[in-house]
Amino acid sequence: MNTKTNMLERFSIALRSGLVNKFSRIPTAQKFSDEFNLRSVTPITRETARKWINGLVMPESERLLVLIQWLNLNADYVYLASTEVGNDVENYPPNKIQRLREIEFFARNALNFASPRIAIMDKHGTIILVNEAWRAAANRNPPLHKTTALCEGANYLEILDKVKGLEKENARETASAIRDLAKNPGKKFVFKYPCHSPSKKHWFIAELSSFHEKENQCLTISHQEISERQFLAKI
């Protein structure tokens, strides 16, 4: 992974965390841009807000400072991600660099060590973070609702509610489990489902659980491909 990609990922992680702390969920790109423009002399478009949330571009220094002050972002973490400090890491305090590496490891690498497709959502179903297995599957297969990428910023519940055809029953079961878990955070859901393509049959096991980050409830869902024999066996 190159330096630019690392910087974008660090910024995106910090921004999404700040937005969840501020709004209890990741707001729409329109809401985010509207709120930002109330605080900045250099306004942004909805498309720019979307790109920031998804870690596609970095904001300029003035806009980055607005985000840090408004969302109470960790300035050390964010500025290490900026082009100005990111190119001067050798002069950054070693203890701070080590701490930032620990944060990044927890936020990103811990998810990517797992082979299942994993997503973390807020209690409203908005996706906060996905691992690489989930992202690869989302890019490889058009999502359930073709106009929305099934990654950070998308609302999983809204997408599931719009599913039609053969996958409708599985989508409704998943959506029902997510809503039940949001109301009963101590519960855990495990269920299996088929998801066949025209050329090959596939079976999956899904697991839903929750945890709290400060005052915010987060939901975790994983999808693991299994064999037909595992699918037919009792859970």
Q: Does 9 share its domain with 100?
A: yes
Same domain for 119 and 106, yes or no, is: no
Instruction: Say if residue 118 is in the same domain as residue 224.
Output: yes
3 state DSSP class of 118:
strand
Is the same domain home to 87 and 185?
no
Last residue of a domain, one of 110, 141, 168: 110
Within the chain, strands assigned E span: 117-122, 127-130, 189-194, 203-213, 216-226
In this structure, is the dihedral angle defined by the CA atoms of residues 74, 13, 121 and 114, taken in order, positive or negative?
negative
Residue 145: pLDDT over 80: no
Do 61 and 125 sit in the same domain of this protein?
Answer: no
Asked if 195 contacts 202 with a C-beta cutoff of 8 angstroms, the reply is yes
> For residue 9, how far is the Cα from the chain centroid?
11
Residues 123 and 225 in one domain: yes
Residue 178: pLDDT band by 50, 70, 90 thresholds?
very high
Mean pLDDT for the chain?
77
96, 181: one domain: no
The boundaries of the domain holding residue 42 are: 3-110
Q: pLDDT of 7-17, one tens digit each? A: 677 788 888 88
Q: Which of residues 69, 89, 110 is at a domain's end?
A: 110
Q: How far is CA 107 from CA 10, 65, 111, 213, in A?
A: 9, 23, 7, 12
The CATH number assigned to the domain holding 77 equals: 1.10.260.40
Confidence of residue 234 (pLDDT cuts 50, 70, 90): confident
Name the percent of the chain lying above pLDDT 90: 22
Residue 27 shares a structural domain with residue 79:
yes
Each residue's pLDDT tens digit, 15-46: 888 888 788 788 899 999 999 998 888 899 99
Q: Which residues contact 21 (CB under 8 A, 6 or more apart)?
A: 71, 72, 214, 216
Question: Could you tell me the CATH number of the domain that includes residue 178?
Answer: 3.30.450.20
**CB 80, CB 86: distance < 8 Å:** yes
Domain count, the chain: 2
pTM over 0.75, yes/no: no
Stretch 213-228: mean pLDDT, rounded?
A: 82
Tallying the residues shown for the chain, one arrives at 235
Last residue of a domain, one of 110, 137, 153: 110
Are 121 and 211 contained in the same domain? yes
Residues 6+ apart with CB under 8 A from 150: 127, 134, 138, 143, 144, 156, 159
The two three-digit tokens of residue 80, written as one number: 């290490």
* Predicted local distance difference test score (pLDDT) of residue 83: 37
Q: What is the mean pLDDT of residues 128-136?
A: 82
Same domain? For 55 and 120 the reply is no
Q: Find the mean pLDDT for residues 206-218.
A: 79
Whole-number pLDDT of residue 89: 43
Residue 43 tokens, joined? 């306004």
The predicted structure's pLDDT at residue 34: 93
pLDDT in tens, 73-115: 765 555 454 433 344 444 545 565 555 555 555 555 545 544 6
* 21 and 80 share one domain: yes
Co-location of 89 and 145 in the same domain: no
| Residue of 38, 80, 182, 64 lying closest to 122 (CA atoms) | 182
